[in-house]
Structure 1
Amino acid sequence: MKKTILLFFFALVYTNTFAQKDFQGMAVYESKTSTSDFKARFEGNKSITPDMQKMMEERMKKMFEKTFVLNFDKSASIYKEEEKLEASNQGGGFRMMSSMTGGGGTYYKNVKDKTYSVDKDFMGKEFLVKDSLASFNWKMEAETRVIGGYTCYKATAVKAASKTDFRNFRPKKEEAAQKDSPKKEETAQQEKPKEAPKTSFMDALELPKEITITAWYTPEIPVSQGPEGYWGLPGLILEVNDGKTIILCSKVVLNPKEKTEIKAPSKGKTVSQNEYDEIVVKKMEEFREMNQGRSGGGGFQIRMGQ
């Protein structure tokens, strides 16, 4: 009898929490992308000194390890990188790369209208990307785990890799195979005519067509929200993993004392996602061609601190 009353009490509190008209929640996420692929490229480049390698690794850590805050209500959310004092001192190149590794701008999602908008600062120009939310064909799994005290369920989906998200790039498969079989590589080099050396860091990378996503969501927080552009599950997504990048929730606060205004950004030239992608890809190709002429054998020349 006591147990039944206790369960009823918790159910009542739970229902009242999310039934409030002004319900709001806040979640903090830690995002980390594996950089081992890039470090391997540095180690094999004789033109990069140990000091240069250390500096590049430190800057990559700042780009690929970030903290974000998601403020959400029943239908909308804003997802933004936590502001750091050192970030404000970085130049345009660093900000550009930051926006291509998940940071920069305010990401607004409206799951009721199935739309999103995000303001981006790219090459000194402000863009307002507005489009429809991507539809994830989630496969619901029976596996469960506990994250931050919440029981979470596993769901998987496959999505197309974004050309403007640097985290999606991988080392070229043939290079990985040659690394595993040095003898075969040596034989192949003897049989085939020598090719011109690669002159750009980007030449060693490729973009997969699709990426498998693993998400962990909790029905205990029944909002169809999550970090970045992830949504569409019957509960808040507390972790997302695509094999290279892990976005993990480290803190959740329901109905915080200080409310945050959840509204879409409005500054910048309005473009669709495809239009923005075309602009970025074109500019990156220009960088690539410029680097090929300057590096003379292999550096990654985009400046990230001036």
Structure 2
Amino acid sequence: MKTKRFIQLLFSALVLFASFNPSLAQQQPDFLMAKYVSNGLSPTIVQTIKLQANDPQEQRKLLKDIGDHKFFYTLIYNTKTQTSCYKLDSINKVEGIVPAGNSVFVLVDAEGNFHGKETFTGDEYYFSGNKGNLEWEITDEKKQIGQYSCTKANLKNLTGTSVWFTTDIPVSAGPDIYQGLPGLVLEVEAVFEKTDLQSVSFSDAPEEHNAEALDAAYAKSKPLPISQVFSLKNNFIQMVKQQLETGKK
């Protein structure tokens, strides 16, 4: 009888302990799933159009068309292995709008190595790098995005690129290559694009993402190191800025 009573007390204690221990009472789902949308309405593009287009009606139409030309993405992050897949789902095209470029996919492994595919100024190429290649400057700037308190960080490798991340969702992931921060990236502001989080959820069963097929295509490619990609983009940004300055004179 004493043994039976001891087992009952032990079981009750374990149940009580589990009710106060979230890691035992409710295990975290295996996958975070985030939906993003990207378009060309970056602060730089908006400012440029306002300076270049004198007709207000033309200005409004151009801004609307650029905003309506959208790229839709899904990020699937494995909370156990800390690997992720970011892929393009669909494009809402607007006739006459030619964006500077867009991401096609980015895969990240458990060691922080990433590789992917993107288009830029008409070229399509594969690239590779590591989270450690990304030089982040975390600022004191804060803002609220939906229900999340966010902090601004600047990517020093790439001219005019900043993100907003939240430690409310403490996963080191985000859209495209924007990884390595102490929280999920919700918003990206680059020179030629702006990317925003649409929704985020946790699940034990992720959507099909065909990472194996993406990996197979990448294996046949000759990827550019991410440092070279940064150089190409920074040079192009500098050229565009010089042309805009010349046009003002």
TM-score by length of structure 2 reads 0.63
Q: Is 1:27 aligned with 2:18?
A: no
Alignment of structure 1 residues 134-213 onto 2, 5 Å? 134-135=133-134, 154-160=150-156, 162-163=158-159, 168=160, 213=163
Q: Is the 8 A contact 1:215 1:241 kept in 2?
A: no
Contact 1:120 1:126 in 2 (8 A): yes
String of CA shifts for 1:199-256, please: whole Å, max 9, x gaps: xxxxxxxxxxxx665421335xx64322232333455x15246699563352314223
Gaps of at least 5 residues in structure 2 are 1-11
For the pair 1:226 / 2:174, whether they are aligned, the reply is: yes
Contact 1:26–1:71 (8 Å) recurs in 2: yes
Q: Which residue does the alignment assign to 1:118?
A: 116
- The answer to whether the 8 Å contact 2:85/2:209 transfers is no
Indicate which of 42, 45, 51 corresponds to 1:41: 51
User: What's 2:75 paired with?
Assistant: 70
The Cα of 1:119 is off from its aligned counterpart by 0.8
Instruction: Give, in angstroms, the shift of residue 261 of structure 1.
Output: 3.7
Inter-partner Cα distance in structure 1 for 2:185 and 2:87: 16
Cα distance in 1 for residues equivalent to 2:121 and 2:241: 15
Amino acid of the structure 2 residue aligned with 1:131:
G
The alpha-carbon distance between structure 1 residues 297 and 287, as it changes in their structure 2 partners (threshold 3 A), is closer
Q: Normalized per residue, which structure has more strand?
A: 2
* CA distance in 1: counterparts of 2:129 and 2:181, whole angstroms: 20
| Count of residues paired in the alignment | 222
Q: Which has the higher contact order (CA 8 A, sep 6+)?
A: 1
Whether 2:222 is the aligned partner of 1:273: answer no
Structure 2 partner of 1:251: 200
Following TM superposition, by how much is the alpha carbon of 1:270 offset from its aligned partner in structure 2, in angstroms?
A: 1.7
Once the two structures are TM-superposed, the CA of residue 146 in structure 1 deviates from its matched residue by: 8.9
SS at structure 2 position matched to 1:80: strand
Q: Is the 8 A contact 2:87 2:209 kept in 1?
A: no
SS at match of 1:57: helix
Deviations 1:117-155 (Å, cap 9, x if unpaired)?
Answer: 1212345543111122234557698x997956xxx5655
Equivalent position SS for 1:260: coil
Q: Which secondary structure state, in structure 1, belongs to the residue aligned with residue 48 of structure 2?
A: helix
SS of residue matched to 1:94: coil
Q: SS state of the match for residue 274, structure 1?
A: helix
**SS of alignment partner, residue 75 of structure 1:** coil
RMSD of aligned C-alpha atoms? 4.5
Once the two structures are aligned, what percentage of the paired residues are identical? 15
Name the SS of the counterpart of 1:227 in structure 2: coil
Residue in structure 2 matched with residue 83 of structure 1 by the alignment: 90
- Mapped to 1, the partners of 2:85 and 2:201 lie a distance apart of 15
1:94 equivalent to 2:98? Answer yes
